[in-house]
Structure 1
Amino acid sequence: MNQPTELTIAIDVYRQRRERVLAALQAAGGGVALVPTAPEAIRNRDADYPYRHDSYFYYLTGFTEPEALLVLDASAAAGEPRAILFCRAKNVERETWEGFRFGPDGARDAFGLDAAFPVDDIDSELPRILAGKPALHYALSTSAEFDGKVRGWLDTVRARERSGVMAPAASHDLTPLLDDMRLVKDAHEIAIMRAAAHISALAHRRAMAVCRPGIREYELEAELLYTFRKHGAQSPAYGSIVAAGANACVLHYPAGNAVAKDGDLILIDAACELDGYASDITRTFPASGRYTPAQRELYDIVLAAQQAAVDATRPGVTFDAPHQAAVRVLAQGLLDTGIVDRTKFSTVDDVIAERAYARFYMHRTGHWLGMDVHDVGDYRERGVPVDADGVPPWRTLKPSMALTIEPGLYIRAADDVPERYWDIGIRIEDDAVVTPDGCELLTREVPVDADEIEALMRDAKAAAGS
């Protein structure tokens, strides 16, 4: 394991986040919060999957090694440590095989913690920390293994009750507090997300530039992965979708070995993860470098829908507002093209009311984005009055929230659909950060306008001499 980059280690950023959690726990009556990192996972036999830390843990520590636990003690007495890390001890032999380890002392100093202990001491140290504390806070019931460890630590404390030691009397879910914190990005996060978006945009431009009829989906995926790593991203943010022709109508189609044919569209939904933060881009472009009239017609509808959603993304509106703006444009386009039967639906309001568009647009227009590509955070408000159906209102957008904007149309071959539109799948996706008066799109270094995409591909062919 390599040592983290300087960008990863922003001591003040992580310390301030921990202080916010501690202050919130103190306001709620105190107690101890436990935030474990992710376990290592075996791929097969004695080979592990590439390790990826837990996002909550990383958000509060910046620490990327496995076998670690953060303890935040909001009831610590004056002078006692409040931010405590358990991590792997220094071990020269293991470091020869696996790479650098900070060790407790190194991690304490590098990441601004109050104290650190070897993880092998956790079963003796943690019951001591929990003893006499009023409450325990952690991600309840998300890991059966960790729940079992917590029960063991609490049982150890309870075994001392006759000597006057009391175990925490209550357990609370820590994730709503952390989710709300993570939902609004700070400047440090936005800077990394902007850098991740830049790398992902370079990858999409490269894929467009090398694409030609006869190329296979996995070849385009290889160009994406190469660009991610070449420019410093640690990994893809999710499994890359590279879909040629009719495969683009499969929403989560993994890059396969299908050959892109002349006349096919290529839908690529792929992006990198950089220093713990995801980007998320989708572009749809012609394998030959030029859209057919039917493809261009549908593409322009989807692009107009995306622009309507972008225009609707601003502080004070609900999370649902961009989706509804996109749906109206898509529904009108489906009506105008005759893909939705005009003898059954005479107006766009009819199409929307009957959800006739949902056959061709079956997902929502966006999701939260951050450390996870589908990032944490409620989409509806908590603790507010519900409507007549018992449903709370959609969450209101605020500055520095990050979300995707990704409308699409997926027209499978069917007898009741004009044949010129058969097997056309189009999605256009960008990453947006809400600003005080609108939103900033982080991913527009790769074009979305059809003419600009065609020009990029034409120039790339000319430069290659083909």
Structure 2
Amino acid sequence: MKYQPINKELFCHNRRNFARQLKASSIAVFHSNDFMPTNADGTMAFRQNSDLFYLSGIDQEESILLLFPDSKDEKMKEVLFVRESNEHILVWEGYKLTKEQAREVSGIQTVFWLQDFKQVLNALMSEAEHVYLNTNEHLRAVIEVETRDARFVKWCREAYPLHKYERSAPIMHYLRAIKSDLEIELIKKACQITELGFRRLLQFIRPGVMEYEIEAEICHEFIRNRSRGPAYSSIIASGANACILHYADNSRECKDGDLLLMDFGAEYANYAADMTRTVPVNGTFTKRQREVYEAVLRVMKAATQMLVPGNSLDQYHAFVGTVMENELIKLDLLNESDVRNQDPAKPLYKKYFMHGTSHFLGLDVHDVGNKYRPFEAGMVFTCEPGIYIREEGIGVRLENDLLVTKNGAVDLMKNIPLEASDIEQLMNKSK
């Protein structure tokens, strides 16, 4: 892996917390992700299952974690299974974890080769009453490919039909929503790498540059700083493209007078950063562009003040909607009387600001967490208001990552330029 070794206490801490949530006499099983196919014999780059990584730190395919806190055998309370290597695998794929390396990474002392899994599981199932199975229960998940976890769910229920089955996902969503100090440091590292990428771009962007050239600069800076690359597909949207929320082509020429909306973030040790900045291609905002930019920035600053313990996402988004309405009225995009008489179920501001303001952030860009759970210290959210005026070809979105603390929100991207004047100054520094 490109990233530096992680303190295994992170994963030991996570397993202890998870074990406390289980019913008595319970086994929980977590599988790694598959290598996903492309075409012919091709595969996509491997990305570990977030839950398995959270509990073990193992970043390798064909790995299984088995937790049995009430096992009568102390050595079988935590068991890890990893792929056994051989000369053929070494030549064609490279090094795999040894048992000792797996112990060092995870803090789990009992490590078997993968082929021993069914035999070990069978011996332990006779002691267990409940089995916790892992599934992807993210609200936005569209699941069309069967995962290793899903295949195991079917096999296990057929092989052991008389056990009582439980879901791991609610526990994982609850635990993963609160970041430990070690996790926060990893997210900060991802944010720092993202800052390096953005500062590089401020000296690179100019009329005539292609959106994909900007994307290439991002990848270059990320990888050279130990990131695997972007945590998600970078959005590099110039001109009217900025009004397409999930624009992905990144193929247009950036032209003089355009705004350029860039939504990107580095991944570090599987943890994500998520940032958006909107800049003038020629280095100077027009009067109208700046008006819209400043309006979005005011909404962002107001929203940040609401990311405090006790608030909820529904309350938060309702507040942000009201602030956005006032800004859109000032921009002559909404009429004050129309807003007063609008259908509350169909707020008028949605024409210009149609997405949510914040989402959980962590091992996944849209991280797991219960939207109805009040904010608590240790949660990390994005804050990303935007205004999109299709008829004017103007799209502005600004986004930072924020840690909720008992004393208010801490901006993990506070060092990344955000004020319009700072953006202009840095872009024109070498001109």
TM tier relative to shorter chain: over 0.9
User: 1:27-64: per-residue Cα shift (whole Å, max 9, x none)?
Assistant: x2221000111111112212211111010000000010
Q: 1:149 to 1:352 in 2, by over 3 A?
A: closer
Distance, in Å, in 1 between the alignment partners of 2:117 and 2:290 is 61
Instruction: Give the equivalent residue in structure 2 for 1:360.
Output: 352
Distance, in Å, in 2 between the alignment partners of 1:156 and 1:367 is 39
TM-score where L is the length of structure 1: 0.86
User: Could you tell which deviates more after superposition, 326-335 or 447-456?
Assistant: 326-335
Distance, in Å, in 2 between the alignment partners of 1:279 and 1:427 is 16
User: 1:62-90: per-residue Cα shift (whole Å, max 9, x none)?
Assistant: 01010011000133104341111111013
Match of 2:374 among 390, 396, 417: 396
Distance, in Å, in 1 between the alignment partners of 2:47 and 2:349 is 39
Matched position secondary structure for 1:126: helix
Q: Is the 8 A contact 1:331 1:351 kept in 2?
A: no
Q: Is the 8 A contact 1:310 1:322 kept in 2?
A: no
Is the aligned partner of 1:86 residue 2:81?
A: yes
Q: 1:100 to 1:5 in 2, by over 3 A?
A: farther
Q: 1:147 to 1:210 in 2, by over 3 A?
A: closer
Q: 1:446 to 1:140 in 2, by over 3 A?
A: closer
Match of 1:131 among 126, 134, 137: 126
Distance, in Å, in 2 between the alignment partners of 1:144 and 1:224 is 31
TM-score where L is the length of structure 2: 0.93
Matched position secondary structure for 1:48: coil
Matched position secondary structure for 1:440: strand
Matched position secondary structure for 1:298: helix
Instruction: Give the equivalent residue in structure 1 for 2:364.
Output: 372
Instruction: Give the equivalent residue in structure 2 for 1:176.
Output: 170
Distance, in Å, in 1 between the alignment partners of 2:420 and 2:153 is 55
Instruction: Give the equivalent residue in structure 2 for 1:392.
Output: none
User: 1:282-326: per-residue Cα shift (whole Å, max 9, x none)?
Assistant: 000100100111111111100000000011111122223443333
Distance, in Å, in 2 between the alignment partners of 1:192 and 1:145 is 27
Distance, in Å, in 1 between the alignment partners of 2:421 and 2:212 is 26
Match of 1:444 among 392, 414, 421: 414
Match of 1:268 among 250, 256, 262: 262
Distance, in Å, in 2 between the alignment partners of 1:353 and 1:141 is 30
Instruction: Give the equivalent residue in structure 1 for 2:398.
Output: 428
Distance, in Å, in 1 between the alignment partners of 2:160 and 2:406 is 49
Superposed displacement of residue 350, structure 1:
5.0
| Paired letter, 1:260 | C
Match of 1:149 among 152, 166, 170: 152
Match of 1:193 among 177, 187, 193: 187
Match of 2:35 among 36, 40, 54: 40
User: 1:256-277: per-residue Cα shift (whole Å, max 9, x none)?
Assistant: 2211111100000001100110
Instruction: Give the equivalent residue in structure 1 for 2:44.
Output: 49
User: Could you tell which deviates more after superposition, 91-100 or 136-145?
Assistant: 136-145
Q: Is the 8 A contact 2:339 2:348 kept in 1?
A: no
Instruction: Give the equivalent residue in structure 1 for 2:332.
Output: 338
| Paired letter, 2:428 | R
Superposed displacement of residue 21, structure 1:
1.7
Size of the aligned set, in residue pairs, is 423
Instruction: Give the equivalent residue in structure 1 for 2:244.
Output: 250
Q: Which runs of 5+ in 1 are unaligned?
A: 159-166, 381-394, 414-421
User: 1:100-150: per-residue Cα shift (whole Å, max 9, x none)?
Assistant: 211334313442213121112223332222223101001248746544434
User: Could you tell which deviates more after superposition, 284-293 or 90-99?
Assistant: 90-99
Distance, in Å, in 2 between the alignment partners of 1:191 and 1:309 is 24
| Paired letter, 1:375 | D
Instruction: Give the equivalent residue in structure 2 for 1:284.
Output: 278
Pairing 1:103-114 to 2, within 5 Å after superposition: 103-114=98-109
Instruction: Give the equivalent residue in structure 2 for 1:219.
Output: 213
Q: Is the 8 A contact 2:31 2:49 kept in 1?
A: yes
Superposed displacement of residue 354, structure 1:
4.9
Q: Is the 8 A contact 2:206 2:254 kept in 1?
A: yes
Instruction: Give the equivalent residue in structure 1 for 2:143.
Output: none
Instruction: Give the equivalent residue in structure 2 for 1:419.
Output: none
Superposed displacement of residue 187, structure 1:
0.4
Is the aligned partner of 1:18 residue 2:15?
A: yes
Distance, in Å, in 2 between the alignment partners of 1:370 and 1:153 is 30
Distance, in Å, in 1 between the alignment partners of 2:247 and 2:193 is 22
Superposed displacement of residue 6, structure 1:
4.3
Matched position secondary structure for 1:32: strand
Q: Is the 8 A contact 1:128 1:157 kept in 2?
A: no
Superposed displacement of residue 351, structure 1:
8.5
Instruction: Give the equivalent residue in structure 1 for 2:390.
Output: 412
Distance, in Å, in 2 between the alignment partners of 1:320 and 1:137 is 31
| Paired letter, 2:240 | A
Matched position secondary structure for 2:76: coil
Is the aligned partner of 1:65 residue 2:60?
A: yes
Q: Is the 8 A contact 1:81 1:114 kept in 2?
A: no
Superposed displacement of residue 182, structure 1:
0.6
Distance, in Å, in 2 between the alignment partners of 1:271 and 1:144 is 26
| Paired letter, 1:446 | I
Matched position secondary structure for 1:43: coil
| Paired letter, 2:281 | A
Superposed displacement of residue 447, structure 1:
1.2
User: Could you tell which deviates more after superposition, 65-74 or 331-340?
Assistant: 331-340
Distance, in Å, in 2 between the alignment partners of 1:207 and 1:82 is 50
Matched position secondary structure for 2:279: strand
Distance, in Å, in 2 between the alignment partners of 1:352 and 1:300 is 26
User: Could you tell which deviates more after superposition, 287-296 or 312-321?
Assistant: 312-321
Matched position secondary structure for 2:38: strand
Matched position secondary structure for 2:74: coil
| Paired letter, 2:415 | E
Q: Is the 8 A contact 1:301 1:329 kept in 2?
A: no
User: 1:357-398: per-residue Cα shift (whole Å, max 9, x none)?
Assistant: 001100011100000000001101xxxxxxxxxxxxxx2111
Superposed displacement of residue 154, structure 1:
5.0
Distance, in Å, in 1 between the alignment partners of 2:113 and 2:298 is 56
Q: 1:319 to 1:215 in 2, by over 3 A?
A: same
Q: 1:311 to 1:123 in 2, by over 3 A?
A: same
